[in-house]
Structure 1
Amino acid sequence: MLTLAPEGLRSVLFVGAHSDDIEIGCGGAALSLVEAIPGLRVHWTVFSGDGRRHAEARASAARFLAKADSPTIETLDYPDTLFPTRYDALKQELARIRDEARPDLVFIHRREDAHQDHRTLGELAWGAFRDGWILEYEIPKYEGDLGAPNVFVGLSEAVMQAKLDALWDCFESQRTKPWFSKDQIAALALLRGLESRTGERYAEGFYSRKATLRFGSNSAR
């Protein structure tokens, strides 16, 4: 499969409704980006959680972004499962984050995600980030809402293992949940690796609804 390598990325934004969403959906991409692009500005926002979950989220973000230069990590306190009732506030929050981060690339939830909190952020993203490239990530869940991603990031064995280990080490509160397992996360990455033919065994899948290609240079947006 043809691989495009966007040039000129200066700022990336990671958005998650809950602690561990970003890591599950695009943790491998995060690890790969901060390794590949020195000086990349990184903004990482988790929209909900209590004291323990916030602590886990911050510890995890620090681990995933260990090679980033002075990343911005923030945890907010919007009520879990009630994001649709906070639509206006969330819209304003995303506008604030956009103005602070000025992202070239945005990782956020998929617009068709079956979880109402994920879906709300995915819907709002398209009004908030009109000047950035939005990649919507996927979260496997009981509802079975996985689709057919059209953008893939190949993950080396080392990156995949680092993602799994960080998730397990940092989110102790989630270890008893039936959906939180290394095997399940690795299985989806194996499937996406098969579908994408990136040259790596594992991959993360994303949805890109709009992109502009500029021929004559090695840039894509």
Structure 2
Amino acid sequence: MFALSFDPARPLRALFLGAHSDDIEIGCGGTVLRLVREYPRLEVKWVVFSGDATRAAEARQGAALFLQGVGKAEVVTHTFRDGFFPVQLEAIKEQFEALKAFDPHLVFTHARADRHQDHRVLSDLAWNTWRSHAVLEYEIPKYDGDLGQPNLYVRLEPELLERKIEYLVQAFGTQRSKHWFDPETFRALPRLRGMESATRYAEAFYARKVVV
């Protein structure tokens, strides 16, 4: 994975951006597990922009599960009001400016066409902030039915997908009562994307500009 651009023997800096505490894990948790496995010198900054104390604790637990084995990882949680990111744009932009010093090789963020307003704000700011970096936009299945046609696929072995699902269910107790938050949902989309990419399971991304 990413073999054309990155040498596994050298440090690889990956920045993960999520509006809500489970977004990163749902959108690209399997890819995180592949990166952890394949890049022993992986360096991670993991930023979640909204959540009360309970949700922030879940975000940290989720990150800890997915980043097991990463020698250098920083998890940051913010308390921006859920659903109101467009009117908090200036303050959120300031946090993006502070992230520039990390200088990531890979940036993972929400898809621009995502209908959730908080997701779109992070996607737009990611492209505004990192103009010479590889930005991969992940997708979140939800009520809006806004899934599109991604153009980059990361294959997931069944074992990795099952571990992703296990960690999601384990970490995010506040979400278990929601009708969509279950293993069937988290298995269905990777199966569809796997079919599209001639494999069994995959996570898919929008890669609008990639230089190799």
TM-score norm. by structure 2 comes to 0.95
Alignment partner of 1:72 is 2:80 = no
- Paired position in structure 1 for 2:61: 59
Matched AA of 2:109: I
Q: CA deviation at 1:29?
A: 0.4
1:26 equivalenced with 2:28 (yes/no):
yes
Q: Please state if 1:150 is matched with 2:162.
A: no
One-letter amino acid of the counterpart of residue 19, structure 1: S
Distance 1:19 1:63 in 2: 13
Give RMSD over aligned pairs. Answer: 1.2
SS at match of 1:106: strand
1:203 corresponds in structure 2 to 202
In structure 1, the residue matched to 2:116 is 115
Greater shift in the superposed pair: 22-31 or 67-76: 67-76
Asked whether the 8 Å contact 1:13–1:107 carries over to 2, the reply is: yes
Count of residues paired in the alignment = 208
Over the matched positions of the two proteins, sequence identity in percent amounts to: 48
Q: Distance in 2 between matches of 1:95 and 1:155?
A: 33
Q: Is the 8 A contact 1:107 1:135 kept in 2?
A: yes
What residue number does 1:15 align with? Answer: 17
Alpha-carbon separation, structure 1, partners of 2:130 and 2:98: 11
When normalised by structure 1's length, the TM-score is 0.91
Residue pairs, 1:62-211, within 5 angstroms: 62-99=64-101, 101-197=102-198, 199=199, 201-211=200-210
> Any idea what SS the aligned residue of 2:6 has?
coil
Structure 1 segments of 4+ aligned residues over 4 angstroms from their partners? none
Look up the SS of the partner of 1:71 in the other structure: strand
CA 1:183–1:134: 2 relative to 1, 3 Å = same
**Quick one: distance in 2 between partners of 1:210 and 1:73?**
27
